[in-house]
Amino acid sequence: MGKVKSVNDSPLVPLPTNAFVPERDLLKTPILETRHLGIDFGGLKAVEDFNLIIGRTEIAGLIGPNGAGKTTIFNLLTKVYQPTRGTILFDGYDTHEMDTVALNKAGVARTFQNIRLFNNLTVEDNVKLGLHNDIKYGMVPGILRLPSYWKEEKRSHEKAMELLSIFNMEGMASWQAGSLPYGAQRRLEIIRALATDPKLLLLDEPAAGMNPSETAELMENIVAIRDRFQIAVLLIEHDMNLVMSICEGIAVLNFGKLIAKGTPEQIQANPVVIEAYLGKKHGEEA
Amino acid sequence: MEFLSYLISGISLGSVYAIIALGYTMVYGIAKMLNFAHGDVIMVGGYLSYYAMFSFGLPWFVALPASMIVCACIGMLIERLAYKPLRQAPSLAVLITAIGVSYFLQNSALLIFGANPKTYSNPFQSVNPDGSINAGISLFGGQLTITYVSIVTIISCIIIMLALNFFTSKTKMGKAMRACSEDKGAAQLMGINVNRTISITFAIGSALAAVAGVLLCSSYTLIQPTTGSMPGIRAFTAAVFGGIGSIPGAFLGGLLIGIIESLAKAYISTQLSNSIVFAVLIIVLLVRPAGLLGKYVPEKV
């Protein structure tokens, strides 16, 4: 691996030699880099010395036993929680001054472990809320229905429909989000996150509660989304089949500490991982 | 005919309550707080329009938008200075602050405008050539008079209702408001600026309070620093009655409270009218704890 040079506008961030990213992302600034990231809740060090690098078009997995701090890391990456220590570099820029909204505008989007759609709004309106910062008309043209209102609403409608078509959900556009079947709600959350035009998509247990055929379809869709939008995906998942088949890099978290990152083969063969995660001592977690 | 006249004055009164209740219900829906200073913003709007019309001689259709704009700014200022620092505080602290802001506005008005009631001459009437005042339309050979104020009030209420309904269901800012009222965290992760959304909600609510102030003062032809407090409390009742957080609920609650009050005054007792209004409220809440159009949300355990 060795020293690399930035090929885009972002400031140069040399990759540490031990960082694992896919071959094709090596010469580009990583989309995400955390350095010694940590957060305390009272006396508890929930996440400690967390160093992770994710390539620009990588599908990465974050796995670990329950309570290891995976969702906490998502909350740190989206600034729902403020880190106690350490730095998060997004696209090469320090995010120290950014809040949740600023990070979203910069290109971080996420879904939730327990689905958090706007249940009383329609499917289309949920997607349009993701497009919120992309729709350009003010309050007054909105109330008076000036031409800019119609133009922008038409454009956002078309865009929302195009996004919904990724999961073949155009037919459900006028449904209430809360009345969708469970699997469709999960897919809508991904579409809503995609609508914010992210560079990094964080998926918190996207396959939770799905049956094997739905999971298989979801796996294809995640890869298709990455190929189409050329974005990075970081996902938390307990379904080892999903993680091992689509993730190029896997990070393993245990008790708030990153114990390994590598290819699926490396992770499966790593004795520390086996001990901490798959090992008999800690019971059957997955 | 008598009944019709009481009914119309009830609908007109109810329309004012509905306009005020919309302010309560929108702020509650989005910021999850009871803004008890809302009633006093009505009074501020009344005074602003009073000075605009009778000191500067502006016509009502200029004075009204002007006081709406100033009240919207005052509403945003109140939110920024008094409520925003308490965003993470327990709701009781916010409630007490709101009561504090209410007293602050009332006493500032007392200091600035004086305690004496001022005559607010009704702008919605014309003077006949013979010097008599033409305040309304006579129907059925003079048996029934509908004042212009009532007509203006009812029409404004309907326009406001339709506009707000369109705004919250069809525009991006309105949808952002609904998103914030459902889940602030998720809204932020969609890149929606929650603080700005709350600010706009206060601005809209306070602008509506200014409209209510003008309409209220025009029908009572009097303004004093406590003008807003009683209508404010009745409108709050109306919002709870219709289901707080629901915009059609505020509209329905306002109308019903107005009609009940007017009919109770006419047929039962003027002194007991308040008791009757609140008794009806208690009965409705016993049967439907979330109000007429409110949704009962079971708490997750």
In tens, the pLDDT along A239-260 reads: 888 989 999 988 888 888 888 8
CA nearest to B167 within chain A? A143
The pLDDT of residue B42 is 94
- Provide the Cα torsion B252, B255, B260, B266; round to 10°: -160
CA nearest to A109 within chain B? B189
Give pTM, 2 decimals: 0.84
* Residue A181: exposure state from Cβ atoms within 10 A (0-12, 13-18, ≥19): exposed
Q: Name the residue among A109, A135, A196 with its Cβ closest to that of B172.
A: A135
Per-residue pLDDT tens digits of chain B, which is 301 residues long: 788 889 999 999 999 999 999 999 999 988 888 899 999 999 999 999 999 988 888 888 899 999 999 999 999 999 999 999 998 888 899 999 999 999 999 999 999 998 889 888 888 877 777 777 777 777 777 778 888 888 999 999 999 999 998 898 889 899 999 999 888 889 999 989 999 999 999 999 999 999 999 999 988 888 999 988 889 988 999 999 998 888 889 999 999 999 999 999 999 888 888 899 889 888 988 988 888 887 766 555 5
Whether residue B113 lies inside any domain: the answer is yes
Structure tokens at A10: 């972002």
DSSP run (H or E) holding A48: strand A44-54
Whether residue B8 lies inside any domain: the answer is no
* Alpha-carbon gap: B121 to the closest alpha carbon of chain A (Å): 32
Which of A93, A125, A116 lies closest to A205, judged by CA?
A116
The pLDDT of residue B136 is 76
Q: Give CA–CA dist A240/A264, Å, rounded.
A: 10
Q: Name the residue among A117, A125, A133 with its Cβ closest to that of B191.
A: A133
Structural domain harbouring B115: 14-126+136-227
Q: List residues in chain A touching B: CB distance below 8 A.
A: 78, 80, 100-101, 104-105, 109-110, 112, 116-121, 125, 128-130, 132-133, 135, 137, 139, 142-143, 149, 153, 156, 192, 195-196
* Alpha-carbon gap: B171 to the closest alpha carbon of chain A (Å): 6
Q: Name the residue among A104, A120, A143 with its Cβ closest to that of B190.
A: A104
* Residue B15: exposure state from Cβ atoms within 10 A (0-12, 13-18, ≥19): buried
Whether residue B278 lies inside any domain: the answer is no
**pLDDT surpassing 70 at residue A286:** no
Structure tokens at B272: 């007991």
The pLDDT of residue B301 is 52
The pLDDT of residue A161 is 93
3-class secondary-structure state, position A77? helix
Q: Give CA–CA dist B256/A119, Å, rounded.
A: 30
User: How do B133-134 and A108-110 pair as beta strands?
Assistant: unpaired
Q: Give CA–CA dist B292/B248, Å, rounded.
A: 10
The b-or-e profile of A127-152 (16+ CB within 10 A means b, else e) is bbbbbbbbbebeeebbbeeeeebeeb
User: How do A85-90 and A32-41 pair as beta strands?
Assistant: antiparallel
What average pLDDT does range A13-22 have in this prediction? 58
Which of B233, B234, B236 lies closest to B245, judged by CA?
B236
Whether residue B19 lies inside any domain: the answer is yes
Please identify which residue in the block is written with the tokens 């309907």.
Answer: B158
Domain count across chain B: 1
CA nearest to B204 within chain A? A139
Whether residue B295 lies inside any domain: the answer is no
The pLDDT of residue B119 is 86
A129 to B185: CB separation less than 8 angstroms, yes or no? no
Count CA atoms closer than 13 A to B146's CA, side-chain side. Answer: 16
* Residue A277: exposure state from Cβ atoms within 10 A (0-12, 13-18, ≥19): buried
The pLDDT of residue A231 is 93
- Per-residue pLDDT tens over the stretch A60-110: 999 988 888 889 999 999 999 999 999 999 998 898 889 999 999 999 999
Which one has a higher pLDDT value, A23 or A12?
A23
3-class secondary-structure state, position B295? coil
Which one has a higher pLDDT value, B57 or A124?
A124
The b-or-e profile of B184-208 (16+ CB within 10 A means b, else e) is bebbbbbbbbbeebbbbbbbbbbbb
Alpha helices in chain B (DSSP H): 2-31, 38-54, 60-78, 91-113, 148-170, 172-182, 184-189, 194-220, 229-242, 247-267, 273-287
B182 to A109: CB separation less than 8 angstroms, yes or no? no
Q: Give CA–CA dist B206/B41, Å, rounded.
A: 6
Q: Give CA–CA dist A67/B37, Å, rounded.
A: 45
The pLDDT of residue A5 is 42
A128 to B175: CB separation less than 8 angstroms, yes or no? yes
Q: Give CA–CA dist A159/A165, Å, rounded.
A: 10
The pLDDT of residue B122 is 81
The pLDDT of residue A208 is 86
- Per-residue pLDDT tens over the stretch A165-191: 988 899 999 999 999 988 899 999 999
Q: Per-residue DSSP letters for B223-277?
A: E-TTTTHHHHHHHHHHHHHH-TT-HHHHHHHHHHHHHHHHHHHHHT-TTTHHHHH
CA nearest to B172 within chain A? A132
CA nearest to A198 within chain B? B190
Q: How confident is the model at residue A17 (pLDDT cuts 50, 70, 90)?
A: very low
Greatest pairwise CA separation for chain A in angstroms = 66
Whether residue B256 lies inside any domain: the answer is no
* Alpha-carbon gap: B188 to the closest alpha carbon of chain A (Å): 6
Structure tokens at A104: 């979203």
Whether residue B167 lies inside any domain: the answer is yes
With contacts defined as CB-CB under 8 Å, which chain A residues touch B202? none
Alpha helices in chain A (DSSP H): 70-77, 100-106, 123-130, 139-144, 147-165, 182-195, 212-229, 240-246, 264-269, 271-273
Whether residue B7 lies inside any domain: the answer is no
